[in-house]
Structure 1
């Protein structure tokens, strides 16, 4: 099985999440061929040079060859590169597993939070995700909230 791991890769936090998630997937899914863009030094060694076309071609080639996309959709907004990768991959009609671990998902059954939102729109205790991107994920995949759930979804696909 070939898979593509999409997430930001410029902050230390993103790089650590990518390393951890990739290690957990590789440990759980024997023989997986997992493409992690930050591991591709030909385009992502930032002390070297790769132009936009080289980056696009390398990532597109890996997306098109993949059986599944694992996309981290955390952050203030979905990373623009991740959103683009979801868009491209969704046209292939293959499964997408999105990891959305934001703790503001908790308490959706808390009536005080909902009442506060109704009373004052800026008292939003929840987080917004772009609904077009979410819809593309849901067409062929799932949204989970833990690394363990990502691994379980991957195991279902093998």
Structure 2
């Protein structure tokens, strides 16, 4: 039996809309047979926990999640990529883990889709959830 691939889902998690979108993506990926590490839940990264725990605890749980993942899916929406997401992309790149970007935002920079360093660190870029799921088939 094949081992299920584990995805680390990187993305902003500071608004209700971002939190809900992350959960939607997690559920889509789970339904496709992947395991998913969702930092906002699996690293207990939320306002209440930030008040109860120190930042180092959340950081360590996220690094552990990245280390134990096979693939990173990174939400790249916004005028600029979320700084935490950019760090997670760089860390995954350094660990030679494939990073798949998801950018549903139609805005782009004059010289690329996202920041050059982020764009060069990803192995594929999907423009919507359906394209992401099709891309993920290559990584089963």
| TMscore range, shorter length | 0.7 to 0.9
Residue 133 of structure 1: CA displacement?
A: 1.4
Gaps of 5+ in 1: 106-123
Instruction: Show the counterpart of 2:121.
Output: 136
TM-score (norm 1): 0.77
From 24, 38, 41, the equivalent of 1:39 is: 41
Structure 2 counterpart of 1:20, from 5, 14, 24:
24
* Aligned equivalents of 2:86, 2:53: Cα separation in 1: 21
Instruction: Measure how far apart 1:12 and its partner are.
Output: 1.4
* Cα deviation, residue 76, structure 1: 1.7
CA displacement at 1:128 relative to structure 2:
5.8
Does structure 2 conserve the Cα–Cα contact (< 8 Å) formed by 1:44 and 1:50?
A: no
Q: Spell out the pairing of 1:66-145 with structure 2 (5 A cutoff).
A: 66-104=69-107, 129-137=114-122, 141-145=123-127
Larger radius of gyration: 1
Q: TM-score, normalised by structure 2?
A: 0.86
RMSD over aligned Cα atoms: 2.0
Structure 2 unmatched ranges of 5 or more: none
Q: Partners of 2:115 and 2:94 in 1: how far apart?
A: 18
